[in-house]
Structure 1
Amino acid sequence: MAAGEGVKLIGYWASPYALRVEWALKLKGIEYEYIEEDLPNKSALLLQCNPVYKKLPVLIHDGKPVAESLLIIEYVDEVWKEKYPLLPRDPGERAKARFWAKFTDEKCVPAVMATFTSQGEEQEKHAKEAQENLKTLESGLEGKPFFGGETIGFVDISAAWIGIWAKIVGEIVNIKLVDEEKMPLLCAWLQGVLENPIIKDCLPPGEKLLEHNRGFHRMLTGAAST
């Protein structure tokens, strides 16, 4: 079976991790079948394809599953090398791209999530940490329009969703995490990525996403208070 055939993606409409895999597939022009997962009732297919973590997204290529979103993006880039390269070919630049993608997941995401789920002084502390980490992420642009240079690449599709969710978190808890005055380059970068027609076409509806996360916030903070 030729590369590009037999590609399926198990995802969830509000999952940022599934979203960035979709961005990778769309940018490369790879046709795939999207399978929407019911998270409260995980399917036998998901449990079979990712028995260790039991999480999505999962890419299935010619019957073989690949789990974890960043690993999936690297897999997609390696299999379809001739279609819109995402990772730099230079080993040093490739290592740098992996560093910033990992920084997003290990530093930015937890701080934003902690701001979302905490209250009072604890929330203020996490919000400050989130803002500092996002400012650090901005430094990785090094004056370029995208982390990938002149075109959207691996770090851009790995990290751009954090801007969407940070804005949603800000609206829900009334704390501005992405500040245009303090992070002008990051804001310009985020706008540039999200205005790309291919990226924009994949975005979930804004109001629906906001209401979904409002409910998620009520559930999490309610559980914390009890």
Structure 2
Amino acid sequence: MADLEMKLLGLWCSPFSRRVELALCLKGISYDYIEEDIQNKSPELLKYNPVHKKVPVLVRDGKPIAESLVILEYIDDMWDDKPAILPQEPYERAMARFWARFIDEKCLPSIWKAFWGPKKEQDEAEKEACENLKALENELKGKKFFGGSSIGYLDIVANFIAYWLDAIQKTAGKTILTKESFPLLSQWKVDFVACKVVKENLPPWERLVAYYQIRIEAAKASNDDGKIQIY
């Protein structure tokens, strides 16, 4: 199948945008990348994602697809002649989707709140975050990756935990994911980031740490940690 004109509207520091880039690279799909400024959204972004006005947005032959989980499934379905991202067995596919939504709807919000939620709620949020991480830890028993012996859909979705979380822990001066408490997740992080394709699709470490540090200081100066957001 010949590729039609395709472009990705993304943001360099966004784990959601990087999910799509990684999936495209794993599939060997070429695309044009357009860097967005979330503080000054382009007319193109507003045109292609008028509902959420967020990245990522994949545009193929003028047709936009928004939301990273939706885009990942679209990529897997559209280029089914290339290595699969989602499991092929229906039950395993359903479970991968379940855990992906668990990460986005439960795990990431609880982690974010544990670091930058209201002070009086951080301790409880940290407990919840650890419980959520423990659930993911259990999913890795007997496996190198969530996808088994190779990187798959759920590994891509969990990229925030593998890389961005360390940058947040460094800038916030607090650690919730340790080798002692989460040995399987900790080893998974090492194996995931060590993969050549993954490494090539991660934001520069020092730049990412500096980015979060700037946002933390700006939020403190305005006395509003709610301004620190994950994109």
TM-score (norm 1): 0.94
Partner of 1:102: 101
Q: Say if 2:205 is the partner of 1:206.
A: yes
What is the CA-CA distance between 1:44 and the residue it aligns to? 0.7
Q: Is the 8 A contact 2:24 2:75 kept in 1?
A: yes
Partner of 1:217: 216
Q: Is the 8 A contact 1:9 1:58 kept in 2?
A: yes
Q: Is the 8 A contact 2:15 2:159 kept in 1?
A: no
What is the CA-CA distance between 1:117 and the residue it aligns to? 1.3
Measure, in 1, the Cα distance between the counterparts of 2:49 and 2:192.
30
Look up the equivalent residue of 2:114 and give its one-letter code. T
**Which moved further from structure 2: 168-177 or 179-188?**
168-177
**Which moved further from structure 2: 91-100 or 117-126?**
117-126
Q: Is the 8 A contact 1:6 1:61 kept in 2?
A: yes
Q: Residues 60 and 78 of structure 1: is their aligned pair in 2 closer, same or farther, counting only changes over 3 Å?
A: same
Measure, in 2, the Cα distance between the counterparts of 1:223 and 1:43.
29
Identity of aligned residues (%): 46
Report matched runs for 1:146-225 at 5 Å. 146-221=145-220, 222-224=222-224
Partner of 2:137: 138
What is the CA-CA distance between 1:120 and the residue it aligns to? 4.4
Partner of 2:5: 6
Partner of 1:50: 49
SS at match of 1:19: helix
Partner of 2:17: 18
Report matched runs for 1:28-67 at 5 Å. 28-67=27-66
Q: Residues 225 and 161 of structure 1: is their aligned pair in 2 closer, same or farther, counting only changes over 3 Å?
A: closer
Look up the equivalent residue of 1:107 and give its one-letter code. K
Provide structure 1 residue ranges, at least 5 long, that are not aligned to the other structure. Answer: none
Look up the equivalent residue of 1:72 and give its one-letter code. I
What is the CA-CA distance between 1:119 and the residue it aligns to? 5.8
4+ runs of 1 displaced by more than 4 Å? Answer: none
SS at match of 1:217: helix
Q: Residues 119 and 25 of structure 1: is their aligned pair in 2 closer, same or farther, counting only changes over 3 Å?
A: same
Measure, in 1, the Cα distance between the counterparts of 2:81 and 2:211.
38
Measure, in 2, the Cα distance between the counterparts of 1:13 and 1:47.
18
Q: Is the 8 A contact 2:167 2:205 kept in 1?
A: no
Equivalent residue pairs, number: 225
Measure, in 2, the Cα distance between the counterparts of 1:207 and 1:214.
10
Look up the equivalent residue of 2:137 and give its one-letter code. E
Q: Is the 8 A contact 2:117 2:225 kept in 1?
A: no
Measure, in 2, the Cα distance between the counterparts of 1:218 and 1:183.
30
Measure, in 2, the Cα distance between the counterparts of 1:91 and 1:179.
34
SS at match of 1:144: coil
Q: Is the 8 A contact 2:107 2:132 kept in 1?
A: yes
Measure, in 2, the Cα distance between the counterparts of 1:125 and 1:170.
17
Measure, in 2, the Cα distance between the counterparts of 1:151 and 1:119.
39
